[in-house]
Amino acid sequence: MAYAIAARTPGDRDVLHKIHLDVPSPRAGQVLLKQTAVGVNFLDIYFRSGLYPWPVESDLVLGSEAAGVIEAVGPDVDGFKVGDRVAYTMPNNAYVSHRVIDAAQLVTLPDEVTDAQAAASVLKGLTAYYLIHDSFTPKAGDTVLFHAAAGGVGLLAGQWLAEKGVTTIGTAGGPEKCAIAKTTGRYTHVIDYKSENFAERVSEITGGTGVDAVYDSIAKDTYPGSLNCLKMFGTLVLFGQASGPADDFKIADLAAGSFRLTRPILYHFTQDKKWLNDASRSLFEMIASGKISVAINQELPLDQAQKAHELLENRLTTGCTILLP
């Protein structure tokens, strides 16, 4: 029998529970997936807690990235067949054993990329892609600051930036996470924000000039310092809010250095099928070539999603976390 992990209502981790489902049948343009691995992200927590609006009244099935094998194909589906290995990223409904999904949302997995790697990297890897190719595009010789450098997006972005010849400064909490950011993420410099003032350290590292861009997924706790790290005409890319929204931000704050600000959303990019295919192909090529290593440091059964959320919320994870149906 198929099953899902859903949140009864917006709230804490204890709202998560297991529900049984009938195995659905695909309609026109859809396929049925037997899922093999599911990624865990802060986006899931934002929805579970009610920070992001719910599309249903109750029993919201969380999860925003997964991989699996096609078990059935509905009418009018081109380019996919039974047995194909695929992956996807969407805002919700991934914490399931089986799922019917529009074929347009899927990307095909090459043989060189495992299901686990795909489930751990589709959302995070495509996020890293749009951050450094579409939001602010650093070139060799530029210097950027990346918060949460030991997290899933941070590790992938750090490696990608290193391949581009960019000088990278990462922040992380504690010696262990800093070591991971340095080794796995290949950051040029790493700042332990628990023991150091990151804005002061960035000034020291750059000789007072600041960085070309800051990639900030923390928001409330970091954005004032992030602005202070920018050089004149620098860009703040605010792409998450792990510590809460930056409610105190004012447009006038940008005047200090004629700064630029962007607040991109992954799912605006993935609506463009060509972008989705091109970005996914680039991501999988980087993984297959070994230029990007996907660090899956936590694996749990799907029915332990509550534990996965606890670890993520308490900053006890590094790299990527996946759930196994």
Q: What is the DSSP letter of 213?
A: E
The Cα 183–Cα 127 span in angstroms is 21
Distance from the Cα of residue 81 to its chain's centroid: 28
Please report the sign of the dihedral spanned by the C-alpha atoms of residue 274, residue 156, residue 286, residue 166.
positive
pLDDT along the chain (325 residues), means of 10: 96 97 95 98 95 96 98 96 98 97 97 98 97 98 97 96 98 96 97 97 98 96 96 97 91 97 97 97 97 95 98 91 97
Supply the pLDDT for residue 205.
98
What number of other Cβ atoms are within 10 A of residue 22's Cβ? Answer: 8
pLDDT in tens, 142-165: 999 999 999 999 999 999 999 999
Q: Which amino acid, one-letter code, is at 128?
A: A
Place of tokens 């297991």: 18
Supply the pLDDT for residue 102.
97
The Cα 2–Cα 40 span in angstroms is 20
What number of other Cβ atoms are within 10 A of residue 211's Cβ? Answer: 25
Cα Rg for the chain, rounded, in angstroms?
20
Supply the pLDDT for residue 315.
86
The Cα 38–Cα 64 span in angstroms is 8
Supply the pLDDT for residue 149.
97
Q: Which of 292, 264, 273 has its CA nearest to residue 118?
A: 292
Predicted TM-score (pTM) above 0.85: yes
Supply the pLDDT for residue 79.
93
3-state secondary structure of 130: helix
> Are 7 and 48 contacting, i.e. CB atoms less than 8 angstroms apart?
yes
> CA distances (Å), 185 to each of 86, 240, 318, in order?
26, 19, 11
Q: What is the DSSP letter of 188?
A: S
The Cα 131–Cα 218 span in angstroms is 15
3-state secondary structure of 319: strand
> CA distances (Å), 97 to each of 2, 13, 29, 69, 296, in order?
6, 20, 20, 11, 20
Element (H, E) at 281: helix 273-288
Supply the pLDDT for residue 319.
87
The residues near 120 (Cβ < 8 Å, ≥ 6 apart) are 37, 39, 65, 152, 294, 296, 320, 321, 322
pLDDT in tens, 255-313: 999 999 999 999 999 999 999 999 999 999 999 999 999 999 999 999 999 999 999 99
The Cα 94–Cα 222 span in angstroms is 30
